[in-house]
Amino acid sequence: MLPEELRKKVKLIEITTKRVIDDVMSGSYRSHFKGQGMQFAEHRVYVAGDDVRHIDWKVSARTKEPLVKKFEEERELNVLFVVDFSASGTFGSKSSTKGEASAEIAALLATAAERIGDKTGLILFAGQVEKRVPPKRGKSHLLRIVRDILGTVPKTKGTNLTGALEIAARIMKHQGIVFVISDFMAENYETALKRLARKNEVVAVRVRDGHEWTLPNVGAIAIVDPETGEEGVLDPRSQKFKAWFEKMRRGNDERFKQACRGAGIEVLPVDTREDHVQAVVRFFQARNRIRRA
């Protein structure tokens, strides 16, 4: 991506996410990941999405603005984004590709984290980890992360999700939050994912395009594997191919579900054919309703 194109894309994401961050995401994000500790630390201004039970009504009456009690457990967190930017991310049947959706989601979540004072870091991977940014705080650091996500072109082929998760576990030695943003079209990552979740709260953001798993009603077609560059010819009408394709799809889905279920990981499903920003917002709002029930 050329510098001017990158600048425009960063600006577009800033515009797209600003209203969402201001209106709903900061409060939803804060409520989802910030727990109440035992020791009072200070007051802070109420943000939409905060638990109203934490409002200090006496102090709020004196200051003429709603204030909530902040406890020691509400300390800053390290938030790491593990983003898959392998060649399979170039697939997209509607307005955006999986890679573009992943970038916008990561930018939205990183902005929400930075807005409330958390440190944000980044791992970009394809066939291997190609970029590693340790968690830090600050708007210039956030801008670097967004630019890296949007402007980095993969140099390696394939998808080494396992390697990325192992490096993430080494970076996140103390409890934090890890967003793994990928289509999870990989193998043998289950153990690494479970190990990462032992010390961290992990959210699996599964970015997909529904048409990936829909066979076209045509005859023999030439194909190219975006991950490996291998070429071939297939016939989607072949019963043998249909059976193989369905087996692969089911296997991929079941492997992902079992891995997340076994590690206690929440899943944020995203379809590029839909509004992926709203998908993120709905995820946090739904989880907050469950936690308050």
Instruction: Convert the pLDDT of each residue in 82-131 to its tens digit.
Output: 999 886 655 445 567 788 888 888 888 888 888 778 899 999 999 999 99
Distances from the Cα of 240 to the Cαs of 95, 235, 237, 245, 247, in angstroms?
33, 9, 9, 9, 11
> For position 104, what pLDDT does the model report?
84
Q: Is the pLDDT of residue 17 over 60?
A: yes
> For position 35, what pLDDT does the model report?
46
For the segment 125-145, the average pLDDT, to the nearest whole number, is: 91
pLDDT > 70 fraction of the chain, expressed in percent and rounded? 75
Q: Is the pLDDT of residue 37 over 60?
A: no
Task: Please tell me the pTM assigned to this model.
Answer: 0.76
What is the Cα–Cα distance from 149 to 109, expressed in whole angstroms?
A: 13
Q: In what order do the strands lie in the sheet with 119-125?
A: 129-136, 119-125, 78-84, 177-182, 201-208, 266-271
The rounded mean pLDDT for the chain is 81
Q: Report all structural domains of the chain as residue ranges with CATH numbers, in order of start.
A: 34-73 (no CATH), 76-292 (3.40.50.410)
* Closest CA relative to residue 105, chosen from 273, 279, 289: 279
Q: Is the pLDDT of residue 45 over 80?
A: yes
Structure-model confidence comparison of residues 183 and 12, the more confident one = 183
Comparing 93-97, 144-148, 254-258, 270-274, the range with the smallest average pLDDT is: 93-97
> For position 10, what pLDDT does the model report?
73
> For position 224, what pLDDT does the model report?
61
Q: Which residues make Cβ contacts (< 8 Å) with residue 49, sequence separation at least 6?
A: 24, 26, 27, 28, 29, 30, 31, 284, 288
